[in-house]
Amino acid sequence: MVEERKVEWKFLDCDRNQSERLAQKLGVSKIIGMILVQRGLRTATEAERFIAPKISDLKDPFLVKNMKEAVTLFDAHVRRNSPMALIGDYDVDGITSTVLFIDILKKFNNYPKYFIPRRFSEGYGMSMEIVHRMLKKIHPSLVIALDCGTNSVNEINFLRKKGIDVLIIDHHTLTLPQMPNAVIINPHLEESYPSLKAMCTVGLGFKFMHAFLKHRREQGDERAMTMHLRNYFDLVALGTIADMMPVLHENRVMVKYGLRSFAKTRRPGLDALCTISNILPGQMLSQQDVSFKLAPRINVSGRLSDASLPVELLLADNIGEAIIKAKKIDQMNRERQRIEYKVTVEAEAIVREHYQNDPGIVLFHPHWHSGVVGIVAGKLAREYNCPVVVLALERGLAKGSGRSTGENLVRILTQCTSHMECWGGHKLAIGITLKPENIDAFRTAFNQSILNLRKEIQAIAEQIEIVCTLNKEDIEEQLVEELEDNIQPYGHKNEEPIFCIKNIRFANGIEFFGAERQHFRFWIERKDRSWLPGIGWNMASRVPWKGHFIDILVKISLDTWNNERFILLQLVDWRYAQ
Kindly state the percentage of the chain with pLDDT values over 90: 71
Torsion angle, alpha carbons of 453, 456, 458, 461, to 10: 10
Q: Which fold has domain 8-52+464-576?
A: OB fold (Dihydrolipoamide Acetyltransferase, E2P) (2.40.50)
Instruction: Decide if pLDDT at 58 tops 50.
Output: yes
Three-class secondary structure of residue 265 per DSSP:
coil
Report the C-alpha gap between 157 and 49 in whole angstroms. 44
Question: Residues 6 or more apart from 322 whose CB is under 8 A from it?
Answer: 268, 269, 271, 272, 273, 313, 316
Residue 194, strand partner residues: none
Phi/psi at 402 (5° precision): -120, 145
555 phi, psi to nearest 5 deg: -100, 145
- Collect all residues with Cβ–Cβ distance below 8 Å to 468 and sequence separation of at least 6: 11, 12, 14, 31, 34, 499, 500
Tens of pLDDT, residue by residue over 483-511, are: 999 999 998 889 999 999 999 999 877 89
Distance CA 59, CA 496 (A): 26
Evaluate if residue 34 carries a pLDDT over 70: yes
Q: Note whether 8-52+464-576 and 56-228 share their fold.
A: no
Smallest CA-to-CA distance from 572 within 498, 506, 522, 467 is with 498
CATH architecture of 357-459: Roll (3.10)
* Residue 50: count of CB within 10 angstroms of its CB: 19
> What's residue 569's pLDDT?
95
Is the per-residue pLDDT at 105 higher than 70? Answer: yes
Residues 369-391 have a mean pLDDT of 91
Ramachandran sector of residue 526 (left: φ over 0; alpha: ψ -120 to 50; beta: rest): beta
> How many whole angstroms separate alpha carbon 307 and alpha carbon 95?
8
CA 237, CA 96: separation in Å to the nearest integer? Answer: 9
pLDDT band at 458 (very low <50, low <70, confident <90, very high): low
User: Which pTM was predicted?
Assistant: 0.83
d(Cα 193, Cα 204) in Å, to the nearest integer? 13
**Residue 36, CA distances (Å) to 48, 49, 252, 490 in order:** 10, 11, 15, 13
pLDDT band at 285 (very low <50, low <70, confident <90, very high): confident
For the domain with range 56-228, which CATH number is right: 3.90.1640.30, 3.40.50.970, 1.10.238.10, 3.10.20.310?
3.90.1640.30
**Above 50 in pLDDT, residue 1?**
no
| Stretch 259-276: mean pLDDT | 88
Cα 368 to Cα 347: distance, rounded to the nearest angstrom: 10
Q: How many residues does the chain have?
A: 578
HSE of 345, CA atoms in CB hemisphere, 13 A: 8
Per-residue pLDDT at 6: 60
Residue 5 confidence (pLDDT): 52
Residue 568 pLDDT exceeds 70: yes
Say what angle helices 249-262 and 201-218 make with each other, to 10 degrees.
90
CA distances from 274 to 154, 264, 287, 292, 312 (A): 40, 13, 14, 12, 16
Q: Where are the domains of the chain?
A: 8-52+464-576, 56-228, 357-459
Lowest mean pLDDT among 54-58, 319-323, 427-431, 432-436: 427-431
Could you give the 3-state DSSP secondary structure of residue 114?
A: strand
pLDDT reading at 61 higher than 50: yes
Q: Is the pLDDT of residue 4 over 50?
A: no
The helix (run of H) or strand (run of E) holding residue 491 is none
- Which residue did the predictor score with more confidence, 420 or 1? 420
- Which band of pLDDT confidence, cut at 50, 70 and 90, is reported for residue 43? very high
Determine contact, residues 209/75, Cβ cutoff 8 Å: no
Query: pLDDT-derived band of residue 528, with 50, 70 and 90 as boundaries?
Result: confident
Determine the Cα–Cα distance for residues 522 and 540; give it in Å rounded to an integer: 11
Say how far apart CA 197 and CA 170 lie, in whole Å: 11
C-alpha 184/C-alpha 197 separation (Å) is 14
Q: Is the peptide bond before 489 cis (omega within 30 degrees of 0)?
A: yes
- What integer best gives the mean pLDDT of the chain? 91
